[in-house]
């Protein structure tokens, strides 16, 4: 009889030890999944040029996550990006738009590939579009992507939103949610 409790306790101790090992393994796997997910998220949604993005967004009263989302959708944070239509830099500004904004902002020797210059011009331009569309950022984003005339046609129902513009708006919405996790 004296051996029975010891056998019982030994069995309980083994079971508890096994449960502890299982819990430790599960915790390690969960931690690894979280780390891999976070690293993957940061690779897909980089946050380069954080200071420049924040400064430009703040200068023109724009939401920082909106600016990050636009940069992500436009160039994936590649300051040397050039579109097939000739748009350049982080915010993919057409040369005429960039030059016009740089002139309005009194930027000497403006360079569309300079993160600071491109972000300032892009944020200035986006803020103008938001103002022109009475604070409607979705309409302003349509104009940023497809041009102001086309955006007005989309909004009036005169023309269907271009598939590229619809995708652009969806990409912006997704990126805003992701970047909103970090602000």
Q: Which of the residues are catalytic? A: 74
**Residue 158 carries which DSSP code?**
S
- Tokens 């939103």 belong to 161
**Residue 81 carries which DSSP code?**
-
The answer to whether the beta carbons of residues 142 and 152 sit under 8 Å apart is no
Task: Please list, in sequence order, all residues whose beta carbon lies within 8 angstroms of the beta carbon of residue 75, skipping any fewer than 6 positions away.
Answer: 81, 89, 90, 91, 92
The answer to whether the beta carbons of residues 59 and 107 sit under 8 Å apart is no
């Amino acid at each position: 009889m004296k051996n029975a409790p010891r056998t019982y306790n030994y069995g309980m101790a083994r079971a508890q030890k096994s449960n502890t090992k299982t819990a430790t393994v599960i915790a390690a796997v969960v931690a690894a999944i979280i780390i891999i997910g976070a690293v993957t998220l940061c690779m897909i949604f980089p946050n380069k040029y954080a200071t420049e993005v924040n400064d430009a967004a703040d200068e023109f009263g724009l939401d920082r996550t909106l600016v990050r989302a636009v940069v992500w959708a436009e160039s994936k944070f590649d300051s040397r990006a050039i579109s097939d239509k000739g748009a350049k830099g982080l915010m993919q500004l057409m040369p005429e738009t960039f030059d016009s904004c740089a002139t309005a902002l009194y930027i000497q020797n403006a360079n569309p590939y300079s993160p600071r210059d491109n972000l300032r011009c892009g944020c200035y331009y986006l803020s103008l579009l938001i103002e022109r569309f009475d604070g409607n950022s979705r309409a302003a984003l349509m104009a940023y992507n497809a041009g102001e005339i086309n955006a007005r046609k989309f909004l009036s129902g005169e023309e269907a939103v271009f598939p590229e513009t619809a995708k652009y708006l969806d990409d912006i919405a997704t990126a805003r949610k992701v970047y909103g996790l970090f602000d």
